[in-house]
Amino acid sequence: MSDVNKDLRTVDQKNLGGSEASHSQFERTLGKFESFAVAFSFISITTGLFSTYGSMLASSGPVGIWTWPVVTVGTLLVALVFGLLASKIPLSGFSYQWASRLVNPVLGWWFGWASFAFLAIVTVAVDYGLAQVALFPLFGLEYSAAGGAITTGVLILVQMMLVIWSTPVLTKINNLAVGAEVVAILGLIVAIGAAVFFFGKGNTSNLVSTGLVHSDHYFGWLGPFMLSGLLGAFTLVGWESAANLAEETHNPKQVVPRAMVKAVLASGVLGTLFLIVISLGLGDHVEELSRSSAPVADVIRITLGETFSKIVLIVVCIAIFACGLVILTSNSRLIHAMARDGRLPFSEKLSYVPRPTGGPLWATVLAAVVSGLIVLSFYSNPDALTQLLGAATLFPALLYSGTVLLYIFTRHQHIHHPDDFTLGVWEWPVIIGAVAWLIVEMCVFIIPADFRTAQQYVLFLMLAGVLVFIPVWLWRRKQLKKMPPLGSYE
């Protein structure tokens, strides 16, 4: 029997999923709702749609919203495959842990680095979005590149302190934000829908309008319509963060997979309805709002008035802030997991957790500092949000593709246990569907020249990984080659 299989058997024998962790550095405080809330908050359709809707209007027009349901189905299939791995290896570090234990620790290290780079840049993208599309409109301020960068830096600092301070407090903030976000989205769907259908503040033709975009090949292969997939591909990511907090979750083998799938499904349905009413609410101002830096906020103001718009923007600010908070938390757990296994320089410091109910101190500081350096690189860039969105979309596409392939090539190693999350006879159809979707997504975000800047950022960050990997290989080769048994984290 392979070491992986022995480890998986050890986990089952010790009931990692169902019992309190007697030697874990974290306390298991997350239940079913909290696990779902973590995944839902990272996705945060409020964050994604407020941040990317303007880019979609400019590149594809309102009709581009119909790529959202397609991306939802594809993402749902990928989440189901991730659920199979999350149930088998319920540890912080998700793809890093899975690749390390199913193939080898070196491959796992690179999965971990790619995940770290993604989480670092998406933290910045979310907080930039909070500044540009919510905070500045809320206070009636004119957005500037410098103002956006400074605001983003302050937000990251506050989020860092909250992550270090207390996981239960962070969870309560996130639960409140998720509840407020769901209420706000449902309220907007009803209110804007009523304004459109009963008070004539909308235009149904917008649902098939290409807006500013005029192309003979609009619906062709890799045409503007396919490129609008950025709307869903940027937003419907991060649901795997529930797996990254598996060691803080009760019965993670069952809870985490279901939390990820439910978060994607709920976000997909709510997002579809929200996009429809927002596009209707553009009314006869499609061209004007396509040039706005915050078109969703403008639609709310036009259809519902200034007062209601301010109230909604306050809720949106809370939801987006919580999204950034969850992302930084997820990155701190990933760094902690890699450091705990001796995979990083200064591993002893980076794996240090002051108390079971708080975050890993230096791992959180490192995650915040790296995101802060990314902010500095965009300090004077007026197109920072658009470029960050591209990079933050390509990274998860690469990670999802690599992880699904990892599962396909290692599934023969898995031992079935009675408490595993399974798909039964639907496993292979789901896997084939997930692969088909990821091939299309990779084509969309690699072939067109529109994403060259994003690709350069991704390449730069992966090359930066070489500078970190070299000292690990030279001075921590023994730790890099050795994989701790799963049961040691119980």
pLDDT of residue 398: 92
- CB-count exposure of residue 171 (10 Å: 0-12, 13-18, 19+): buried
What is the distance between the alpha carbons of residues 437 and 418, in angstroms, rounded to a whole number? 30
What is the distance between the alpha carbons of residues 11 and 83, in angstroms, rounded to a whole number? 17
pLDDT of residue 25: 63
Classify the phi-psi angles of 31: left when phi > 0, otherwise alpha if psi is within -120 to 50, otherwise beta: beta
Q: Which residues touch 209 (CB under 8 Å, ≥6 apart)?
A: 61, 62, 63, 286
- How many Cβ atoms sit within 10 Å of the Cβ of residue 5? 12
Provide DSSP, 439-466. HHHHHHHHSSGGGHHHHHHHHHHHHHHH
CB 48 within 8 A of CB 202: no
In 228-305, alpha helices (H): 230-235, 241-244, 252-281, 286-289, 295-304
What is the three-class DSSP state of 247?
Answer: helix
Domain positions in the chain are 31-489
Question: Looking at domain 31-489, which CATH architecture does it have?
Answer: Up-down Bundle (1.20)
pLDDT in tens, the chain (490 residues): 344 444 444 333 333 333 333 334 677 878 899 999 889 988 989 888 888 898 899 889 999 999 999 999 999 999 999 999 999 888 888 889 999 988 889 999 999 999 999 999 989 988 988 988 889 888 888 888 889 899 999 999 999 999 998 888 888 888 888 888 898 899 999 999 999 988 888 899 999 999 988 877 888 888 899 889 888 988 999 899 899 888 889 899 999 999 999 999 999 999 999 999 999 999 999 989 998 878 998 999 999 998 888 888 898 889 889 889 989 998 999 999 899 888 998 998 999 988 887 889 999 999 999 999 999 988 888 777 777 777 888 889 999 999 999 999 998 877 778 888 999 999 999 999 999 999 999 998 889 888 888 898 889 989 999 999 999 999 888 888 777 665 544 4
What is the distance between the alpha carbons of residues 483 and 432, in angstroms, rounded to a whole number? 31
In 201-240, alpha helices (H): 224-227, 230-235
The pTM (predicted TM-score) of the whole model is: 0.85
pLDDT of residue 20: 33
Which string of b and e fits 400-439 if b means at least 16 CB within 10 Å? bbbbbebbeebbeebeebeebbeeeeeeeebbebbbebbe
pLDDT of residue 486: 58
What is the distance between the alpha carbons of residues 261 and 35, in angstroms, rounded to a whole number? 11
